[in-house]
Amino acid sequence: MLSTMQDVPLTVTRILVHGTLVHGTSQITTWTGDAQQPQRRSFAETGARAVQLANALRDEIGIDGDQRVATLMWNNAEHVEAYFAVPSMGAVLHTLNLRLPAEQLVWIVNHAADRAIIVNGSLLPLLAPLLPDLPTVEHVVVSGPGDRSLLDGCAPRVHEYEDLIAGRPTTYDWPEIDERQAAALCYTSGTTGEPKGVVYSHRSIYLHSMQVNTAQSMGLTDTDTSLVVVPQFHVNAWGLPHATFMSGINMLMPDRFLQPAPLAEMIEQEKPSHAAAVPTIWQGLLAEVTAHPRDLSSMKRVTIGGAACPPALMEAYDKLGVRLCHAWGMTETSPLGTNSNPPAGLSAEEEWPYRVSQGRFPVGVEARLAGPGGEIVPWDGESAGELEVRGPWIAGAYFGGANGEDFRPSDKFSDDGWLKTGDVGIISRDGYLTLTDRAKDVIKSGGEWISSVDLENAIMAHPAVAEAAVVAVPDRKWGERPLATVVLKEGQSVGCDELKDFLARSVAKWQLPERWAIVPSVPKTSVGKFDKKVIRKQYADGQLDTTTL
């Protein structure tokens, strides 16, 4: 027996049309560096400009199918326009990570066979040297200020964004797209091997957006303004541009002004109620407002993901009236896979174990833990295993390139189709996930596992410590032992022996690192995570000034 319900495809186009018509007065505010003149654009204006962009891409650029249109852009209103125009016309939006090495960007663009690139003018120094090695790119569209002369002699056809869309029709006969058709393409950061392409469907984006808008996820409405710091090139900015058009949430976009001081200024002036970014952003902002106090009182809630948030950072923001809320996800999960909203009716003290976990799985994300031998272990809050997930917005394969078949490497997917996340953790009986480490970062010492994340969080609780990263290094006796690299706060001084004594208050003696290094900074990946492979190489090459205790 079939239902009597209408079969209406779940598409990005419908999110665009809904946001333009129903939430037309909601706003996108893009920071320009001038507090007196941020760019303000309503959803209605943004939607109309997205239609004009679609017309220009079809009529001038020749996009007439599922060709890839890349963006090399900051978070701004024009990037949002591309987010909706490209998929809605049946093409595929490919967001390029501007923090990747040049050789990886070249590999990714060629693998995707991008036909055109929309680029912010300030990023032309990054793009221009790559163009001779990008044979599929036939058009470059430039938005905003920047030195166009950098494109002389090295670019195919160059277009000015505003000139390209000016005078174009504000109506478009949108095609009726199969909801399973590709809408967007994003590549992993390539920390192991070549980057891998994840292709999001219209259906997956639509369902993920609905999940973002639930009360148990970000829980925002059209009375909220979200400061979208997480880059639009990183997993669709955690789904916020699509979710905001679905529910009318106002967006505050920082463009290229991602340093702590301008972020503090835009929070104080524009008064967002919500924000989203990785922990390193909030560590930098905390240092800024500690040295130069600002009013952050409007920002009641922050979604924090990409890496485990140190409990000490949560406590520091609690004192400022800002609640940091853990989330977990990855490129392959669109990305939100959990959100740490504690159960109702608990005191602040009772909430704490839930807050420091990665959170609870929403409907649509199925999860299981695989033990060392591949056996499935129970949700009992004690049994650890590698997290595997499946669901309608979770990848089932990787993009094989313009001329290749999609592929499912065995180290990334189980035989029965579950995504192997590479994260090790436990799940409580009521579905709260606590990650103890990445599988590749667990320290295997004398037959026992040591969590690098637990050690990092404990070290960062020291008042003189700004950041700490712990990695496994070879040890003749134990196989592996932890090495702690520590960044001190400005003006602070503390010895490695004192840090070890401090750590001994909260972890078992056998887990204490013997090797310590005070460093000026911790190397980061393109999305702001600790780049532990670099630290391990620095140690192996003798580049770290290490103290052995």
pLDDT category of residue 190 using cuts at 50, 70 and 90: low
Cβ proximity of 481 and 472 under 8 Å: yes
pLDDT of residue 500 exceeding 60? yes
Enter the tokens of residue 50. Answer: 């997205």
C-alpha to C-alpha distance for 120 and 73, rounded to whole angstroms = 5
Structure tokens at 405: 């078949």
| 101 or 141, which is more confident | 141
On average, the pLDDT of the chain sits at 94
For residue 382, count other CB atoms closer than 10 A to its CB. Answer: 10
List the one residue out of 360, 309, 316, 308 whose CA is nearest residue 339: 360
DSSP letter at 362 equals: P
What is the strand order of the sheet 157-160 is part of?
A: 157-160, 139-143, 114-120, 68-72, 92-95, 182-187, 197-201
Confidence class of residue 325 from pLDDT cuts 50, 70 and 90?
A: very high
Q: Kindly tell me if the per-residue pLDDT of 485 is higher than 60.
A: yes
Q: Which residues contact 454 (CB under 8 A, 6 or more apart)?
A: 436, 507
Look at residue 98 and tell me whether its pLDDT is greater than 70. Answer: yes
Secondary-structure percent of the chain, ordered helix, strand, coil, rounded to 5: 30, 25, 45
CB neighbour burial string for 38-77, b if at least 16 within 10 angstroms, e if fewer: bbebbbbbbbbbbbbbbbbbbebbebeeebbbbbbbbbbb
User: pLDDT (tens digit, 9 = 90+) per residue, 453-466?
Assistant: 889 999 999 999 99
Given a contact cutoff of 8 angstroms between Cβ atoms, the answer to whether 197 and 111 are in contact is: yes
pLDDT above 90: residue 167: yes
Task: Sort strands 419-427 and 27-30 into parallel, antiparallel or unpaired.
Answer: unpaired
Phi, psi (deg, nearest 5) at residue 484: -105, 120
Cis ω for the linkage preceding 335 (within 30 of 0): yes
| Percent over 90 (pLDDT), the chain | 85
* Lowest-confidence region among 84-93, 472-481, 516-525: 472-481
C-beta of residue 484 within 8 angstroms of C-beta of residue 459? yes
Spatial distance between the Cα atoms of 23 and 213, rounded to a whole number of angstroms: 15
For 376, what's the count of Cα atoms within 13 Å in the CB-facing half-sphere?
8
Buried-state track 234-254, b at ≥16 Cβ within 10 A, e below 16: bbbbbbbbbbbbbbbbbbbbb
- Torsion (CA) 237, 242, 246, 248 in degrees, nearest 10: 50
> Which residues are CB-contacts of 288 (< 8 A; sequence separation ≥ 6)?
260, 261, 263, 264, 294
Per-residue pLDDT of 395-406, as tens digits, reads 999 999 988 899
Q: Does residue 247 have a pLDDT over 90?
A: yes
Is residue 185 within 8 A of residue 68, CB to CB? The reply is yes
441-548 folds as GMP Synthetase; Chain A, domain 3 (3.30.300)
Q: Residue 520 has what pLDDT?
A: 94
Q: Show the CA angle centred on residue 93, arms to residues 106 and 422, nearest 5°.
A: 70
Enumerate the active-site residues.
Answer: 188, 332, 444, 449
Question: What are the helix (H) ranges across 292-433?
Answer: 311-319, 348-355
Q: Cα 73 vs. chain centroid, distance in angstroms?
A: 15
Residue 29 in 3-state DSSP?
Answer: strand
Q: What is the pLDDT of residues 333-358, one digit of tens each?
A: 999 999 999 999 999 999 999 999 99
37 - beta bridge partners? none
Tell me what the mean pLDDT of segment 492-515 comes to.
92
pLDDT at 191: 53
Q: What is the pLDDT of residue 440?
A: 75
Amino acid at 6: Q
Q: Identify the H or E element spanning 439.
A: none
Q: Residue 508: exposed, middle, or buried by beta-carbon count in 10 A (0-12, 13-18, 19+)?
A: exposed
Our measurement of the distance from residue 408's CA atom to the centroid of its chain's CA atoms, rounded to an integer in Å, reads 23
Give me the sign of the Cα torsion angle 10, 15, 16, 17: positive
Tell me what the mean pLDDT of segment 143-147 comes to.
97
Identify the band that residue 192 occupies on the pLDDT scale cut at 50, 70 and 90: low
Instruction: Provide mean pLDDT across the span 3-15.
Output: 98
Question: What pLDDT, on the 0 to 100 scale, is given for residue 414?
Answer: 96
Ordered by start, the domain boundaries in the chain are 441-548
* Closest-CA residue to 515 (of 471, 462, 451): 471
Residues in the chain: 549
- Compute the distance between CA of residue 38 and CA of residue 46 in angstroms, rounded to an integer: 15
Cα atoms in the 13 Å half-sphere on the side-chain side of 390 = 10
Q: Calculate mean pLDDT across residues 257-267.
A: 97
Strand (E) or helix (H) holding 436: strand 432-438
- Residue 31 near residue 255, CB atoms below 8 Å: yes
Angle (nearest 5°) at CA 530 between 547 and 482:
35
Whole-angstrom Cα distance, residue 18 to residue 330?
28
